[in-house]
Amino acid sequence: MARPVSIRDEDILDAAREVFLAHGIRATSAMVAERARVSEGIIFRRFKTKDGLFRAALDLDLVDPPEIADLEQRVGQGTVVDNLHDAGVALVGILRLLVPLNVLALSNPSRSGPIGSRARPNPREAYSSILANYTRGEVALGRLRDVDPDLFACAFIGGINDYVVGQTFRADTTPLRALTVPAFIRALLDLLMRGAQLTPEPPRRR
């Protein structure tokens, strides 16, 4: 039985995301209507076309978790590793949504670029900026050595992104699949904070 017409647009969009992720661009409005338990007529009255529904489904109103949104305010508080660990775990949750939807968006010729919201079209750039600013603040306080904040943020987010891609798309034999999210973030931070050398070598002269 179909739901009443009072169903929220966001309920329809949640159903559309599930269907588009499961079936790609082959998904039909009928599939979305069945998942949302509404008629196709309601979908077309609200979103006009399948492409309009697709675009609306990928235009997310993302709410940043406080572990990321408030990271810059945590400069000098707690430990750097704990602050970055909390932000990293939260980032995994966001990227688990964004990564597959970005792949889906790229499969649609009518849409270009990464998904996001109207106010912030590229969330990953925003998260990179937050992490870089946090790193810069900790460097200024002497709690981190003089690393390049943008490079550190790029390496941290890039590692997390690759982990999410592996968890989402790769075969079960991928070694990192065995790691829980907190364990992976701890291992990544250990690598970034300590490096891989037994004894750090002095930088070579150019």
9-58 domain in CATH 1.10.10.60?
yes
Output the pLDDT for position 86: 97
Q: And the tokens for 205?
A: 């002269």
pLDDT digits (tens, 9 = 90+) for 103-130: 776 666 555 455 554 445 577 888 999 9
| CA nearest neighbour of 37 among 22, 19, 49 | 19
pLDDT-derived band at 67 (thresholds 50, 70, 90) equals very high
Give the DSSP per-residue string, 112-164.
-S--B-SS-S-HHHHHHHHHHHHHHHHHHTTSS-S--HHHHHHHHHHHHHHHH
pTM here is 0.72
Domain definitions of the chain by residue range: 9-58, 66-194
User: What's the CATH code, domain 66-194?
Assistant: 1.10.357
C-alpha distances in Å from residue 137, one per residue of 25, 80, 133, 164, 199: 44, 11, 6, 28, 27
- What's the whole-number average pLDDT of the chain? 82
pLDDT digits (tens, 9 = 90+) for 145-200: 999 999 999 999 999 998 888 887 766 566 777 788 999 999 999 999 988 877 76
DSSP-based three-state secondary structure for 92? helix
Total residues found in the chain within this entry:
206
CA dihedral sign, ordered 136, 139, 140, 146: negative
